[in-house]
Amino acid sequence: MKRFMLQLFRLAMTMTIMITMAVMIFSLRDRVTSLKRQLAEAQAGEDPGVFATIASRTSIRKFDPSKAVSDEAIGKILKAGMCAPSAMNKQPWEFVVVRDAAQLKALGEALPYSRVGNGAQAAIVVCGNLDNGLPGRGKEYWIHDCSAASMNILLAAKGLGLGAVWTGVYPGEDRIAAVRKILAIPEGFMPLNIIPIGHPAENPPPKDKWNPAKVHKNRW
Ligand SMILES: Cc1cc2nc3c(=O)[nH]c(=O)nc-3n(C[C@H](O)[C@H](O)[C@H](O)COP(=O)(O)O)c2cc1C
């Protein structure tokens, strides 16, 4: 009887080990298949990380004031901003990085819609050089160029796990005057927006904006 029990125990142990190994082999096989697919997509030129960052970005308007944003993070965000395309590569942007608590407070109080007062650890004010060197209507390209830089800034913040929101300054005359005064922005340069940055203190779901009706094929 004792021997039978021992054999039964051995059988049970062998089966447990075999089942565990089978599960491990199957999950390993799934992982290899998924890595192969990711590699194939990467080789085909697709970077799934880019799409995930774009799709999951959403405006963050409340920040955790107790969590610091490092200078390194701000540096990376600024580098991303300056990677943007610009008309004839004129790069007509300037960035005012606001880290000083008194300056942040002044911005937040003068411009409640900037959300800087909601615990932001930093704010980047994207400004355009109005003399971007382009003639005639081309002068207006500073808006496009600085907007492209702003979008890169929002995505870079998201990529670093930080929250941010584009808050409009230009063309609101009152907003422009307030920002110009607080940050001593000289004539010839125009603040386009204020982007408060901090660790998110809210977690709104990204909005699903996909609307195929907005896509016109070959002609309107
Ligand atoms: C030109 C522009 C101006 C904006 N101004 C403000 C603003 O003053 N305050 C604010 O809280 N959000 C502002 N936003 C953010 C928009 O409200 C937000 O992008 C929009 O509701 C879509 O939401 P999502 O960014 O989460 O996708 C602005 C966005 C843009 C592009």
Q: How far apart are the CA of 108 and the centre of ligand 1, in A? A: 16
User: Residue 9 carries which side chain, given as an amino acid letter?
Assistant: F
Measured distance CA(69)–CA(195) in Å, rounded: 14
For 58-73, give the secondary structure using H, E and C. CCCCCECCCCCCCHHH
Q: pLDDT digits over 60-107, tens only? A: 999 999 999 999 999 999 999 999 999 999 999 999 999 999 999 999
3-state class (DSSP) for residue 122: strand
Same domain, residue pair 63 and 171: yes
Same domain, residue pair 90 and 152: yes
User: Would residue 139 count as lying in a domain?
Assistant: yes
Q: How far apart are the CA of 9 and the centre of ligand 1, in A? A: 66
Query: If you compute the radius of gyration of the chain from its CA atoms, what whole number of angstroms results?
Result: 26
Same domain, residue pair 8 and 71: no
Same domain, residue pair 73 and 36: no
Same domain, residue pair 165 and 123: yes
153 HSE (CA, 13 A, CB side): 32
Same domain, residue pair 69 and 42: no
User: Would residue 190 count as lying in a domain?
Assistant: yes
Q: How far apart are the CA of 165 and the centre of ligand 1, in A? A: 6
Q: How far apart are the CA of 35 and the centre of ligand 1, in A? A: 37
Say how many domains are in the chain.
2
| Boundary residue ending a domain (24, 46, 68) | 46
Look at ligand 1, atom 12, and give the residue with the nearest C-alpha: 167
Q: In this predicted structure, which of 10-19, 76-85, 187-196 has the lowest mean pLDDT?
A: 10-19
Specify the pTM: 0.84
Q: Which atom of ligand 1 is nearest to the CA of 61?
A: 11
- Counting ligand 1 atoms within 8 A of each CB, the residue from 54, 58, 59 with the most, and so the one to mutate, is 59
Look at ligand 1, atom 18, and give the residue with the nearest C-alpha: 59
User: Would residue 133 count as lying in a domain?
Assistant: yes
User: Would residue 73 count as lying in a domain?
Assistant: yes
Q: pLDDT digits over 102-151, tens only? A: 999 999 999 999 999 999 999 999 999 999 989 999 999 999 999 999 99
Same domain, residue pair 191 and 103: yes
User: Would residue 7 count as lying in a domain?
Assistant: yes
User: Would residue 21 count as lying in a domain?
Assistant: yes
CATH number reported for the structural domain that contains residue 138 in this entry: 3.40.109.10
Same domain, residue pair 25 and 120: no
User: Would residue 152 count as lying in a domain?
Assistant: yes
Same domain, residue pair 153 and 132: yes
Measured distance CA(118)–CA(135) in Å, rounded: 41
Average pLDDT (10-21) is: 89
Residue 41 confidence class, pLDDT cut points 50, 70, 90: low
Which protein residues touch ligand 1 with a CB less than 6 Å away? 58-59, 61, 113, 115, 165-168, 207
Helices and strands counted in the chain (H then E): 6, 5
User: Would residue 167 count as lying in a domain?
Assistant: yes
Q: In this predicted structure, which of 22-26, 120-124, 209-213 has the lowest mean pLDDT?
A: 22-26
- Per-chain mean pLDDT for the chain: 94
The per-residue b/e assignment along 54-68, b for 16 or more CB within 10 angstroms, e otherwise, is eeebbebbbbeeeee
Asked if 143 and 86 touch (Cβ cutoff 8 Å), the reply is no
Average pLDDT (38-43) is: 71
Measured distance CA(110)–CA(45) in Å, rounded: 46
User: Residue 207 CB: number of other CB atoms within 10 A?
Assistant: 8
Same domain, residue pair 77 and 35: no
- Structural domain boundaries enclosing 5: 1-46
Same domain, residue pair 97 and 194: yes
User: Residue 119 CB: number of other CB atoms within 10 A?
Assistant: 21
Same domain, residue pair 86 and 191: yes
Look at ligand 1, atom 15, and give the residue with the nearest C-alpha: 166
